[in-house]
A and B are shown apart, each in its own frame.
Chain A
Amino acid sequence: MLIIDCPYCGPRPEPEFTHGGEAHIARPADPSQATDQQWLEFLYLRKNTRGVFAERWRHARGCGRFFNALRDTTTDQFLATYRAGQKPPAVPVGGER
């Protein structure tokens, strides 16, 4: 069970959260202008990063807020959590340890 640092509530256990997939994929402002290829990429194409990965979480059984996290997929260590709409903070390469 992971400990996840909700940017609004602080550290809480994983069962309070739901995972939301890769972060920073914005819905095109005018979908009608998107080509089929662009729409396909928006809908389906996701990274499968080995290492530091920006992902969405929702504190579903807490404050209900969506936020983003940087997690090292090889160690499950969180390097940072930050509010939706913010840029990912710079983290040291390789994580804390």
Chain B
Amino acid sequence: MSSLRTPAGGRIDRADSLSFTFDGRRYQAFVGDTLASALLANGVHLMGRSFKYHRPRGVLGAGAEEPNALVTVTRDDARRTPNLRATQVELYDGLVAESQNRWPSLSFDIGAINNLLSPFLPAGFYNKTFMWPRSAWHKVWEPPIRAAAGLGVAPTLPDPDRYAQQFAHCDVLVIGAGAAGLAAALTAASAGARVIVCDEQAEMGGALLSERDATIDGQPAVAWVAASVARLAAMPRVRLLPRTTAFGYFPHNNIGLSERITEHLADPAPSLPRERMWQVRAREVVIATGAIERPLLFPGNDLPGVMLASAARTYLNRYGVRVGTRAVVAAGCDAAFAAALDLAAAGVQIAAIADVRAAGAADGPALAAARAVGLPIRACSTVLAATGALRVAAVRLGVVAANGNVSPGDTIACDVVLVSGGYTPSVHLHSQSRGKLAFDEALGAFVPAAPAERSRSAGHCRGINGLGAALEDGACAGAAAALATGHTATTPRFVATALDAGIEGTPGALPQLASVIPPAKAFVDFQNDVTTRDLALARREGFESIEHIKRYTTTGMATDQGKTSGLNALGFVAAESARKIAEVGLTTYRMPYTPVTFGAFAGFARGDQFDPVRKTPSHDWTIARGGVFEDVGMWKRTRFFPVGTEDMHAAVDRECLGVRNGVGMFDASTLGKIEVVGKDAAEFLNRFYVNNWANLAPGRARYGILLRDDGFVYDDGVIGRLAADRFHVTTTTGGAARVFGMMEDYIQTEWTDLSVWITSTTEQWAVVAVQGPKAREVLAKLVTGIDLSPTALPHMAIAHGEICGVPLMLFRVSFSGELGFEVNVPADYGTHVWEAIHAAGQEFGITVYGTEAMHVLRAEKGYIIVGQDTDGTMTPDDAGVAWAIGKTKHDFIGKRGLERPALKAKGRKQLVGLATVDPQVVLEEGAQLVATANRPAPYPMIGYVTSAYHSAALGRSIALAAIADGRARMGETLYVAMPGGDIPVKVVSPVFYDPEGARINV
């Protein structure tokens, strides 16, 4: 193993080695390594190319904040996961990882020419440079720009893995299992509260896992973590969720967690889901998400080898990896000295520690310790630049004089630069929950203020520093959360010893460089390649609001959401505009905290499980006969039944003629059905529908129209009176639920004086429509107990009897214009009766037809379909059904609305028929109508086509259209404006077939 690996220590299992490949090269590592720690142990810092300029990039951090080291991990062609942070990829034996956004190779990348072109690619370059000619953007400029800028490539094969979803409830959800989180969990759980603890890492312990000398209650911090996790795991009311990221904080303490279950396994059991999405509803939440160190802004700050001091410390203490052999430390924060101390003790040469803080910054405990062991500290220093090609090779320091002037200092060779600009509390979840934030001047960062939900932040994520203080803060938060759920806790006391380095820093440019104009070019947002110059440019171009600067420069808009860049961008903009950071404000934190896979969101809702399907009684019968389905809401309805090689046109023609000339059958079970019962049922329907229901005799039915109170048509359907106090209401297929809801609304809240009860019976009845001149003959073979003769059962009559031994409610109704019946039987017998009717109809040549033929047949008769021929702005008069309105009624829903002047004005669009001059031309539904041919633009549209079909019975095309003053235009020639030229049409009656209605009344 490489000399960069320490001889002992860390959380890796040195007895268990493994191998993996990165860009095709094989490397050795230990169980417990991440991809980043293993590459560093092998001396590899170059892990990616940047998004825009293709600059070589190394790993900056050691956790979720990583902006640079994004890799693709591939198991097979379908399991290729792009854009994973190498710092969070747990190694397994045989793992295959590749770098991204480079060609042909990571070390030689053609796209790096963008770096030389960078003066021409400033913020918003695509808005300025490529705007002319206008059409060129999509065709010429955008494709190569998109191809060159980029991240990993998603697989094109379907995802073969399963993703689980689970709901959970608890008293206290603890997010983050570092010092504060574990203390909170122990306290709340000991009080008896039901606790869930989630942590994004494989091992719980947070920053404690990176500590070398810290102790808690007399034992090393990592031993205390192990003991605490074991204690929690043994408690029956505690659930521990490692590898689980709390990615979103939703209203009413609903927290989204994403658990990675098999990502770290070399050979996962097929029974395991890959990930699990948790929706936790917590009575109280303790946010203990820690803090993230910030980089410093200086030229070359993005070179491989420049990394956060805390990350170097983590790689050393947790993974046993020295990140280099000779380090320069740029200390903008006391914590940098702690990292220098640990690395020096591990044998890394500390070439220099440049204390880049403003003069007068207080000495912290880590600085004092570093000074005591004689580390080479240079006060009043600054970093002028880091230099190198694919790895940092040297740092040019600057010397700051007492008057603030900077003069060039030494150039120091090194292979790693540790930077620390202070710590940013991870307030993401608090902010997502709409909790307020306050700027802490001493800390130089935002901390949580008043929460908006039942939550509290604890430890580093609210700016509390020091191990003992974090433990105490966590315990207090855990006790308070437990108490809020009715559990009295004893707050435990912890005895902690640690170096407790300071975490205060300075966001933005180094103090000594802040006044340099123009600003030195340094990277602020590493993932989106946003530099200090871009931010300055945005300000010069007039952007003052941080929200505008963010969008113009894209700072903070990458998938890392600006975890390392956000405060530096704010600090830089604040200094440039001579404002305080608190005045510049903060952009909004949005979920997810780290990217969540689509699979986890989709969960089980894939394929057949994607959406519920409603099936009609003829569903399987249709499949067996090759019928073609269409989706109507959740229903699967048969559109047509092709015979042999028929296309839809031929099949529909045949089906229509079959009904007109003989008999057809149609599955109408999807019709919405509502039973309205009660002594006031008729009065209720009188108030609800436009029609008069009081004079409808039992055993008779009527076509009903429903309006909203604005006077516009809302639904329609046949309503039958089964008894004095009982009605069978049918609705449109799509309108059933909303009509039922509207009925409930009026019954419950407006007309509480009525004694009426409604029940949805859509699923109770199977309905077979039998239509055509021979319909009676077919049913006569099967129906008993009903006299089917025209005198006994006239049009719009209802009778009860039996069919095939099954109770039958028979409606004599027609939506085809032919003699028609609708056979209603209990749904469970639907298939049986359907097949029986089909068999009985064979001697009459019965035709099974679908929704397409049904549409043609009703259009030939001018019967409207609400939602197709009406659009929510049509009155009954517009739709030509004003005859249905009960004229003597004092009120019904919509009556007052119809009296509004606009609804009675001239020029309203009215439904009429259209006959194309060329009978073979079928119009397009939605096409616009104009009054004159060859007119200059602009010209007014006077209407539009709502329905258009070829009518086999008439041997020509037919159409319905809504046209201004349509009924006054009968016989006029209008024009349908189409891209290929005008289509002349004649305005005709909407009833094309059998206008006298003779065929119905036989």
Contact = CB atoms under 8 A, between A and B. Distances in A.
Interface of A: 1-3, 18, 20, 26-28, 30-32, 34, 36, 39-40, 42-43, 56, 58, 60, 64-66, 75-77, 84-85, 97
A76 B251 contact: yes
B741 A84 contact: no
Nearest to B745: A66
Given A32-B896, A36-B900, A20 B710 contact: no
Contacts of A18: 741
B749 interface: yes
Contacts of A77: 252
A58 B744 contact: yes
Contacts of B254: 1
A60 B434 contact: no
B750 interface: yes
Contact of A76 (B252, B750, B895): B252
B756 to A, nearest CB: 14
A84 B897 contact: no
Contacts of B897: 39, 43
B752 A85 contact: yes
B777 interface: no
A64 B741 CA distance: 8
Contact of B709 (A20, A43, A56, A64): A43
Nearest to B751: A27
B749 A34 contact: no
Contacts of B709: 27, 31, 42-43
B935 to A, nearest CB: 36
Interface string B879-911: 000000000001100011100110000000000
A42 B709 CA distance: 9
Given A32-B890, A36-B901, A58 B745 contact: yes
Interface of B: 250-252, 254, 279, 281, 434, 450, 452, 709-710, 741, 744-745, 748-750, 752, 890-891, 895-897, 900-901
Nearest to A56: B749
A36 B479 CA distance: 61
B162 to A, nearest CB: 23
A43 B710 contact: yes
Given A3-B281, A32-B895, A20 B745 contact: yes
Contact of B750 (A27, A30, A65): A27
Contact of B748 (A27, A43, A76, A84): A84
Shortest Cβ-Cβ A-B pairs, 6 listed: A31-B896, A76-B251, A3-B252, A66-B748, A84-B749, A1-B254
Contacts of B450: 97
A30 B890 CA distance: 9
B413 to A, nearest CB: 57
A42 to B, nearest CB: 8
Contacts of B750: 26-27
Contacts of A32: 890-891, 895-896
A58 B737 CA distance: 13
Contacts of A65: 748
A2 to B, nearest CB: 5
Nearest to A27: B750
Contacts of A1: 250-252, 254, 279
B875 to A, nearest CB: 14
A54 B618 CA distance: 47
A33 to B, nearest CB: 9
Nearest to B752: A85
Given A1-B250, A28-B896, A39-B900, 7 more contacts: A3-B281, A42-B709, A43-B709, A43-B710, A43-B897, A75-B452, A85-B752
B481 to A, nearest CB: 15
7 contacts: A1-B251, A18-B741, A32-B890, A43-B710, A58-B741, A66-B745, A66-B748
Given A2-B252, A32-B891, A39-B896, A75 B434 contact: yes
Interface centre among B252, B279, B450 (most CB of A within 10 A): B252
A69 to B, nearest CB: 13
Contacts of B748: 65-66, 84
B143 to A, nearest CB: 40
B904 to A, nearest CB: 11
Contacts of A20: 745
Contacts of A60: 741
A53 to B, nearest CB: 15
A70 B401 CA distance: 64
A25 to B, nearest CB: 10
A35 B450 CA distance: 49
Nearest to B896: A31
A22 to B, nearest CB: 13
A80 B251 CA distance: 16
Contacts of B452: 75
A20 B527 CA distance: 44
Contacts of B251: 1-2, 76
A55 to B, nearest CB: 13
Contacts of A56: 749
Contacts of B752: 85
A60 B738 CA distance: 11
A60 B737 CA distance: 10
Contact of A66 (B252, B279, B749): B749
Contacts of A66: 744-745, 748-749
A65 B747 CA distance: 10
A76 B254 CA distance: 13
Contacts of A36: 900-901
Interface centre among A27, A32, A42 (most CB of B within 10 A): A27
B97 to A, nearest CB: 37
Nearest to A39: B896
B256 to A, nearest CB: 10
A39 B900 CA distance: 9
A42 B901 CA distance: 16
Nearest to B711: A43
A23 B281 CA distance: 28
Interface centre among B250, B279, B748 (most CB of A within 10 A): B748
A32 B900 CA distance: 11
B744 A30 contact: no
A75 B436 CA distance: 12
Contacts of A58: 741, 744-745
A94 to B, nearest CB: 12
A32 B894 CA distance: 11
A27 B687 CA distance: 13
A10 to B, nearest CB: 14
Contacts of A76: 251-252
A73 B254 CA distance: 18
Nearest to B749: A84
A32 B897 CA distance: 10
Nearest to A4: B252
Nearest to B279: A1
B900 A31 contact: no
